[in-house]
Amino acid sequence: MFGERTDRIIGILSDSFFPILKAGLQFTIPLTLITFALGLILAFFTAVARLSAFKPLVLLTRFYVWIFRGTPLLVQLFIIFYGLPSVGITLNPFPAAVIVFTLNKGAYSSEIIRAAILSIPKGQWEAAYSIGMTKAQALRRVILPQAIRVSLPPLGNSFISLVKDTSLAATITVTELFQKGQQIAAVTYEPLWLYIEVAFIYLIFSTILSYLQDKLEIRYGRGIAK
Amino acid sequence: MDAGLLNKRGSSMINIQNLYKRFDKLEVLKGIDLSIEKGKTAVIIGPSGSGKTTLLRCLNLLEIPDQGTIALGKQTLKITESTKLKQAEIVAFRKQTGMVFQGYNLFPHLTALENVMEGQITVLRRSKEAAREKAMSLLEKVGLKDRAEMYPFQLSGGQQQRVGIARAMAMDPEVLLFDEPTSALDPELVGEVLKVMKDLSREGMTMVVVTHEMKFASEAADQVIFMDGGVVVEKGTPNEVINETKNPRTLQFLNKVAER
Ligand SMILES: Nc1ncnc2c1ncn2[C@@H]1O[C@H](COP(=O)(O)OP(=O)(O)O)[C@@H](O)[C@H]1O
Ligand SMILES: [Mg+2]
């Protein structure tokens, strides 16, 4: 009796492992990588814009960060995917997820980058100015390389939390990892074991990403005493 | 900015007239007049808070003075309350100076060599090879050729400060500004930095040095300037200001320094 049950679970798990992994590789990982890359670029320009001397730009970026940090990701997803069609803008699930995650990550990461830029001692700016650099040159050649180093650990953490956050894309019908697991759980009536399997696959992904994060931190750790 | 107005009074490299600077309500520089000739070394002494750093920082426009005229090298800046300098004007003026900071302020993500190359490449648009060659010869000059590949955190304070001097020199400035370059150093490391500064002074670099090292002032300065409370109290040869002064404020300060 017990053996039969176990066999059945093992059968379900081994049959479902690759479909779920495939959903992860097809949607979860691309969604994570694309939105992280786009989000970083957005964050970078947002952070620099917020530190600029041009008031309208500063206000605009502050407004953007305020909106996306102050509202739930889930609500943002629903507005873009289920809300926008009522004003004639209909997006496919995946692009909708990319847009929302990018805007959301961009807002959070811009705060990380901004804090990192502000953490670089004033003397570094002054040394850069003293050798004739403009503000843009000082930022690019002296401040940002150091700020990137400072922001890598928190950015890496937010990257790893992004892998997990992408499971929310299931709510707007993206058949990513979690959605796939849900589907299989629904037909096999083994939610406990399937969701454990889903968790396990997320764990594999985030472990690999943590490893990459460590590598990057070492690469950008030039010039710091260990 | 009267960019066309050249200052050719004698051979003066720096000529400051009636310079004022305040931070909010705090008046820090209250009408400074100074002249430093080309190739000479001026040492500025004075109690903490007297405005020495602010004066140096006004010379390279890290602080924008409120009022006054600064002629430096080929350029003259006449500043009034209504003057609004553009970044390009500030940078062009500043490029004539190099600055050595009390806290070194080396770029921690770059090696000693890269620190000295950076400005040459980014600002002066020199080729990497030319910048490297110049940087190496400057590092050799400050006695750090064998430390070229090290990062600042791997260097002692004295070594870092010598890299700082090389970094400033690499830009071929008309004037080098030193703000207490040895104050953050352990006593045994002061000498190696002062030696480099003396060499530069002897070779005819125009230098303005804020320091409490009276021996350096006596030996290397052509002019000693005593500041207190935002004004120049006394200026003259090292002998006049350090040994023969009759000014009570100068005497009081010198006694305090001697006690340390
Ligand atoms: N950025 C600043 N903002 C406000 N006050 C300042 C600033 N820089 C200097 N001060 C003040 O100006 C005075 C002169 O400072 P400083 O030029 O550093 O003197 P010194 O170098 O002779 O010790 C001090 O009272 C100092 O607190
Ligand atoms: Mg000072």
User: Where is B138: in which H helix or E strand?
Assistant: helix B128-141
How close does chain A come to B62, measured CA to CA in Å? 7
pLDDT surpasses 90 at A175: no
Q: Atom 6, ligand 1: which residue's CA is nearest?
A: B23
Q: Share the mean pLDDT of chain A.
A: 92
C-alpha separations of A33 from A19, A26, A37, B80 in Å: 20, 11, 6, 54
Q: Atom 20, ligand 1: which residue's CA is nearest?
A: B49
- Asked whether the beta carbons of B106 and B150 are under 8 A apart, the reply is no
> In the numeric block, which tokens belong to residue A99?
């847009």
Minimum-distance CB partner of B153 among A130, A137, A223: A223
Minimum-distance CB partner of A123 among B105, B110, B122: B105
Query: Is residue A22 very low, low, confident or very high in pLDDT (cuts 50, 70, 90)?
Result: very high
Candidate of B27, B48, B53, B177 to mutate for ligand 1, largest count of ligand atoms within 8 Å of Cβ: B53
How close does chain B come to A115, measured CA to CA in Å? 18
Which pLDDT value is given to residue A215?
Answer: 86
C-alpha separations of A208 from A148, A202, A212, A214 in Å: 21, 10, 6, 10
Residue type, B99: M
Subunit contact A141:B122, Cβ cutoff 8 A: yes
Chain A residues with CB-CB distance to B176 below 8 A: none
Closest atom of ligand 1 to B50 CA is 22
A142-146 average pLDDT score: 95
Subunit contact A137:B60, Cβ cutoff 8 A: no
Report the C-alpha dihedral over residues B42, B48, B51, B53, rounded to 10 degrees: 60
Gap from CA of B49 to ligand 2 centroid (Å): 7
Per-residue model confidence as pLDDT tens digits over B191-200: 999 999 999 9
The larger pLDDT score, comparing residue A5 to residue B4, is at A5
Minimum-distance CB partner of B94 among A132, A141, A146: A132
Chain A residues with CB-CB distance to B101 below 8 A: 123, 126-127, 130
Which pLDDT value is given to residue B6?
Answer: 46
Q: Atom 8, ligand 1: which residue's CA is nearest?
A: B54
Which pLDDT value is given to residue A222?
Answer: 65
Subunit contact B101:A132, Cβ cutoff 8 A: no
**Paired residues of B23 in beta bridges:** B26
C-alpha separations of A190 from A18, A24, A193, B34, B145 in Å: 17, 20, 6, 87, 70
Please, what sign has the CA dihedral across residues A132, A135, A136, A142? Answer: positive
Subunit contact B108:A141, Cβ cutoff 8 A: no
Which pLDDT value is given to residue A126?
Answer: 98
Lining ligand 1 with CB less than 6 A are B 23, 26, 28, 46, 48-54
Looking at this predicted complex, what is its ipTM?
0.93
Which pLDDT value is given to residue A1?
Answer: 53
Q: In which residue ranges of chain B is pLDDT below 70?
A: 1-10
Q: Atom 7, ligand 1: which residue's CA is nearest?
A: B23
Gap from CA of B29 to ligand 1 centroid (Å): 10
Which pLDDT value is given to residue A212?
Answer: 87
Which pLDDT value is given to residue A216?
Answer: 82
Gap from CA of B48 to ligand 2 centroid (Å): 7
Query: Among the residues of A26-92, which ranges form H helices?
Result: 29-50, 55-70, 73-78
Give the predicted TM-score (pTM) of the model.
0.87
Output the DSSP codes for B178-220: EESTTTTS-HHHHHHHHHHHHHHHHTT-EEEEE---HHHHHHH
Nearest CA in chain A to B103: A123
Chain A residues with CB-CB distance to B103 below 8 A: 123
Residue type, B74: K
Per-residue model confidence as pLDDT tens digits over A72-114: 999 999 999 999 999 999 999 999 999 999 999 999 999 999 9
CB pairs under 8 A between A and B: 73
Output the DSSP codes for A120-148: S-HHHHHHHHHTT--HHHIIIIIIHHHHH
Which pLDDT value is given to residue A218?
Answer: 82
Which pLDDT value is given to residue B259?
Answer: 82
Gap from CA of A59 to ligand 2 centroid (Å): 37
Closest ligand relative to B45 C-alpha: 1
Which pLDDT value is given to residue B254?
Answer: 95
Angstrom distance (rounded) from CA B37 to CA B15 = 9
Which pLDDT value is given to residue A225?
Answer: 53
Angstrom distance (rounded) from CA B161 to CA B21 = 28
Which pLDDT value is given to residue A224?
Answer: 64
Per-residue model confidence as pLDDT tens digits over A180-204: 999 999 999 989 999 999 999 999 9
Q: Name the CA radius of gyration of chain B, rounded.
A: 18
